[in-house]
Structure 1
Amino acid sequence: MAPPNRYRARKQPKQPRAAETRQRILDAAAHIFAEYGYAAGTTNRIAEHAGLSIGSLYQYFPNKDAILRALMDAHVDSGTRLLGQRLSDGLPQRLDEVVRMFVRATIDNHRDDPGLHRVLFEQAPRAPEFLARLHELERTAVEMTARLLATHPEVRVVDSDISARIVVATIESLVHRLLTAPTAIDPRRVEDEIVILLTGYLRHGLEP
């Protein structure tokens, strides 16, 4: 018999009241993880903050790892929806405005609770299935970016595929690192600096 997946939540609630209770648990967990960190963010603390008994919490999640997985998925889902909304009207024509659209969407997805994002992606374990999902999303983002770079008239890079990987990794890593840093940085300044950095790189490229 295969061991149970500790990252798997129990069945998704179908009734509105049950769905509301599940969301209360996730909201409480977000607060507790941000305040205490992952190691000290126990299910007892989460249940207490949610105003529930520990038994009620376990009806929805078998442990805090499953709660963590749900929070991580919610973060990724939110980012995917946000970017989709920004892309629904099409891409701007100017390269710097295209870069800004992607940078701003990434910043907006990290803006609400930097402390929680630091816990989720630096302190806590990640389920193998979640890592696979992240890798697939990154692959898709790189492919889309490579197609854009290969056709945009302002781009002067030599290898669109490699440059696409650099662009995607730069946006994600710099936004996460700078917005979740203990010393806060104005998100508008972060946005402007990353746009300048990447636009200059893409416009001038490197000689073969």
Structure 2
Amino acid sequence: MPPQADKQRKRPKQDRAKETRTRILTVSAHLFGTRGVGNTSTNRIATEAGMSIGTLYRYFTDRDEIVKELTDSLFLQVEERYSRLLGGAVDKTPRDSVAEVIRIAVEILVANGPLVRALVADLQFYGSGIPEFEPRLRMIIKLYLIQMLGPTRVADIDTMAFIVLNAGFATALRSVEMDTEGLDRDKVIDQTADMIGAWIDSVAEAEKSR
């Protein structure tokens, strides 16, 4: 059989496998968000997804692997959006740049609010994904700050990137619960950006005065 024909025969099977994997993740995200991670077994996920537990285990070895896949997906979305920022920092003030960093994370986490709440409640968000993605996200923010500030002898860009990223993520994580706590999400984002932006401006001014 010609190689091209063999490839065409295999493609539907690959597509079905991708669809099955996606269905498991979609059902898991829904169940985690409504029941909590600890109260959701792989048997329950398989039942809700309309498949046998054996089929589920062909794609994921256990619940923790599903949790990691879902958490990594959130970080990948943030990473992809942060990467788009590069090149545009020179056209924005530090305050507006910080606000954009925060709003990107807020938008993604709030859109996945029930899942994020479940992951945070079971401490899964902190243990899965962050060790791998934090340095990568911090590097993007570092490049963003370098574009914004230009060559600098005063600023500790590594520390600044760490603060911007972690302050932004802390605000983003808390934003998932702000509506229920009666807080104005936009106001919190703006005030956080005001404070960090003022700090970056002061560093930039110190650089100019040297």
The 3 A distance-change label for structure 1 pair 179 and 185 is farther
Matched, 1:110 2:140: no
Q: Which amino acid aligns with 1:115?
A: P
Q: How far apart are residue 31 of structure 1 and its match?
A: 0.8
2:42 matched residue in structure 1: 43
Asked if the contact 1:141/1:168 (under 8 Å) is kept, the reply is: no
Kindly report the root-mean-square deviation, in angstroms, between the aligned alpha carbons of the 2 structures.
3.2
How far 1:116 moved relative to its partner? 1.1
When the two structures are superposed, what TM-score results if normalisation uses the length of structure 2?
A: 0.75
Instruction: Give, in whole Å, the separation in 2 of the partners of 1:175 and 1:149.
Output: 22
CA 198–23 in structure 1, closer or farther in 2 if over 3 Å, else same: same
Q: Size of the alignment, in residue pairs?
A: 191
Closer, same or farther in 2 for the Cα pair 1:203/1:143, shift >3 Å? closer
Higher relative contact order (CA 8 A, sep 6+): 2
CA 199–71 in structure 1, closer or farther in 2 if over 3 Å, else same: same
User: What's 2:9 paired with?
Assistant: none
Counterpart in the other structure of 1:178: 175
Unaligned runs of 5+ in 2: 1-11
Letter of the structure 1 residue corresponding to residue 190 of structure 2: D
Q: Unpaired runs of 5+ in structure 1?
A: 1-12
Q: Secondary structure at the match of 2:18?
A: helix
- In structure 2, the partner of 1:195 is 193
Give the CA deviation at 1:53.
Answer: 2.2
- Larger relative helix fraction: 2
Structure 2 Cα separation of the partners of residues 184 and 42 of structure 1: 33
CA distance in structure 2 between the aligned counterparts of 1:88 and 1:59, rounded to whole angstroms: 39
Identity %: 27
Aligned to 2:88: 90
Change (3 A) 1:130 1:88: closer
CA distances 1:90-137 after superposition (whole Å, capped 9, x unpaired): 233322222222121111121212221133245144798844312422
Structure-1-length-normalised TM-score = 0.75
